[in-house]
Structure 1
Amino acid sequence: MPSPSRGSRLDGCQQSLAVLAERLRPWRWLWPPLAFAAGMASFFLVERQQWLGATLALGMLVTWLLLLSENLIARWLTRRGYPPPPRGVTTFIAQMVHQETLFFTLPFLLATTAWSSGQAIFTLLMLGLALPSILDPLYYRLAERYRWLYFAFHAQCVFLVVLVALPTLLHLTTAQSLVMALAAMMIFSLPSLMEWLKPLTPRRWLAMLALLPLLAGAGWLGRIWVPPASLWLSGHALSPAFDERARAPEGGLHLTPEALVDHGLYAYTAIHAPRGLREEIVHEWRHEGRLVDRIPLEIQGGREAGYRAWTHKRRFPARTAGDWRIDVMTSGGQRIGVLRFTVDEEEERATLADGRIRRPAGLPGLDLSRLMARPAPAP
């Protein structure tokens, strides 16, 4: 049993925490925009002041560790005869952390989503998840009445913070970060499954153990829908020739079957990555949706305009006419961007590969990097 003095001190701390939470409640509307601003700052400062961006991301992870230890702290206190922290206070803190996570990671998702692909659905769903975190009646109903769904919400937030933070903190590749994010989500899905399958009979324990790898497998199969939170396509071009010394596409050609056979085709991509990150990417050439070639490349992070890489395809199938696309992928299977072109016998209907470097549609890099100081150029 705890001593009376220690118990009274603990009661005093809990009361102070409850008072502080009540005083903060009128100002909680400030938390989501502050978290979004912190995410924006981390997104840009990781390129200019890497230590500051990493510090912001590390702060996110520390906050999560404190939140995830909530149940352990409550049990530890209860076993020693102390009252657990008030449920309303812990839910309020959890809500702030969920808001912090969702709004902190949004800039990374918005900047790296290939909006012409299924990644747009994933990012819009994450935007939708941010809504219940700022609507108190909905959030507290979720926390009190639908605990399994609340824990699933919690696990998804863990997935996002690990996916975004690890490339910044540890320079892990997108594939490594994705695997660790899926592992974290699977672990923190346990409370959701345990709440959903109550009462936990032996048969339901077996069902839960079977569901966990299924969840991880589904997450891995759906990785093409998940934006690579540290990489984005900053420019692309198609051309019949290439200046390798200047690393620049050149020339112009209508993409007819005869032209492709005679000249081949260069696909140029500039891919932005954090300084210090080495990543293998792949150009996947597809004709009418069918994969016909897969060419790996290695990029290095740190160049503001993106690491310039290209592939030159000379061998084409006998029937080249039709719609083509080049999927720019990570080695782990996440899409960075897409290049599309049409091959046709008639020059008027064929794509003109003119070597012009174009920016992809959407918000690559949020298009605000030009407002920031330029980092030292990478080789």
Structure 2
Amino acid sequence: MSFPVFSFPPIIQRLLPKLEPWLPVLAFASGAASFILVDRQAGLAKWIVIAVLAGWIWLLLENVLSKLFTRLTHREVPPVVGRLAVQWVHQESFFFVLPFFYFTTTWNSGQAVFTGLLAIAGLLSIIDPFYLGTLARRKWLLMMYHGLAVFALTLTSLPIIFEMTTGESYYAAIIAVATVSVLTLPGFIKSHPEWQRSHWMAATVALPLLLAIVWWGRYWVPPAGLWLEKSAITTQIYSAEKLPGNRVETVSAEDLHSEGLYAYAAIRAPLGLRETIYYVWLQEGEVIDRIPLAIEGGREEGYRSWTHKLAFPEDAAGEWEVQLLTEHGQMIGVLKFEVE
């Protein structure tokens, strides 16, 4: 049985085209607001994030809700509503997470590629010829686009809502991507009746392979809930103020062996979050030491921590760096110095 299509009141029909261009701006603003509120008004930040997640819940239940609407009102939901809703959810997701990843990205590393990919995906969501043309014609590309949005949003939202560590949220993000892929697979199959069994076998193998790549590539994914407020390599720490002395970029081997060096970092994290981070000392790319430290979130100036390394190799000359890593290998930042 077919029903007439539901029509919006004239005033809403006039407003929708005018509001659509502003949706990415509103999404970016809500993401920036949540980023600022993470450790100042944690409760409000959680509600903003929950509102964004509600869009994905609606998207996953779209068919069920549309049928329920038709049953109750005897009107069909206009096709344009579904199209606009999907596009809006993508815009809201990508532009919401961009402030988080922008500030947590270590830009002189491969993390810049991931954050750049998010920025490009957000930009493409507002370019209708690509979004309504290329994505609509290539369902496999739409599934990957879906997955990237879910992955980034899960990484950002779970530490805020549930005070999960970055490692726990990374596991959850992979599970979320797998779940969304499975839920969207029936529609994908329906749109490709011409595919042979070999195609579906390849697709079946591709999903776990893609998830494995996402897991092993976590070093290049910024930890959206952790970022550096201040960092330094120094020869002195003012313990009472918990502040570093003068920054050091070059040190002689003699001074290094006699006095050692401090690696200092003030790390911002969501209120209530407790996580172990690692100061990993590397000489010419080779790991020399790995020192764990526990941090707590919610401090406006960041959780100030440092390590004092005294034991260095006899031949310590060369390029050094101290990587700050989460327990599961995501990089928070990197400090570099040279030993002459």
Normalised by the size of structure 1, how large is the TM-score? 0.80
Q: Which amino acid aligns with 2:298?
A: G
| In 1: Cα distance, 2:292 partner to 2:76 partner | 55
**% same residue:** 41
Cα shift at 1:163: 1.0
2:8 matched to 1:16?
yes
2:269 matched to 1:277?
no
| In 1: Cα distance, 2:9 partner to 2:129 partner | 22
Q: Tell me, what secondary structure is at the counterpart of 1:139?
A: helix
Q: Which amino acid aligns with 1:141?
A: G
Is 2:39–2:297's contact at 8 Å kept on the other side of the alignment? no
Q: Which residues of 2 match residues 103-182 of structure 1 at below 5 A?
A: 103-182=95-174
Aligned to 1:220: 215
Aligned to 1:334: 330
| In 2: Cα distance, 1:264 partner to 1:213 partner | 46
Aligned to 1:319: 315
Q: Tell me, what secondary structure is at the counterpart of 1:336?
A: strand
Q: Tell me, what secondary structure is at the counterpart of 1:159?
A: helix
Aligned to 1:373: none
User: What are the Cα deviations for residues 147-201 of structure 1, in whole angstroms up to 9, with x where unaligned?
Assistant: 2212221121111111111111001011111111121112223436945975465
Q: Tell me, what secondary structure is at the counterpart of 2:272?
A: coil
Q: Which amino acid aligns with 1:240?
A: T
1:185 to 177, 196, 199: 177
| In 1: Cα distance, 2:70 partner to 2:318 partner | 69
2:257 matched to 1:265?
no
Q: Tell me, what secondary structure is at the counterpart of 2:8?
A: helix
| In 1: Cα distance, 2:225 partner to 2:36 partner | 11
User: What are the Cα deviations for residues 93-151 of structure 1, in whole angstroms up to 9, with x where unaligned?
Assistant: 11111111111111111111111111111111111111221111221113431222122
| In 2: Cα distance, 1:78 partner to 1:252 partner | 66
Is 1:21–1:89's contact at 8 Å kept on the other side of the alignment? no
Q: Which residues of 2 match residues 34-49 of structure 1 at below 5 A?
A: 34-49=26-41
Which segments of 5 or more consecutive residues in structure 1 lack a partner in the other structure?
2-6, 345-379
Q: Which residues of 2 match residues 35-114 of structure 1 at below 5 A?
A: 35-73=27-65, 85-114=77-106
> RMSD of the alignment, in Å?
2.8
Change (3 A) 1:108 1:21: farther
Q: Tell me, what secondary structure is at the counterpart of 1:302?
A: coil
Q: Which amino acid aligns with 2:105?
A: T
2:24 to 26, 32, 37: 32
Is 1:224–1:333's contact at 8 Å kept on the other side of the alignment? yes
Cα shift at 1:251: 7.2
Change (3 A) 1:207 1:248: same
2:226 matched to 1:231?
yes
User: What are the Cα deviations for residues 187-238 of structure 1, in whole angstroms up to 9, with x where unaligned?
Assistant: 2234369459754655544433322221111001111111111111111122
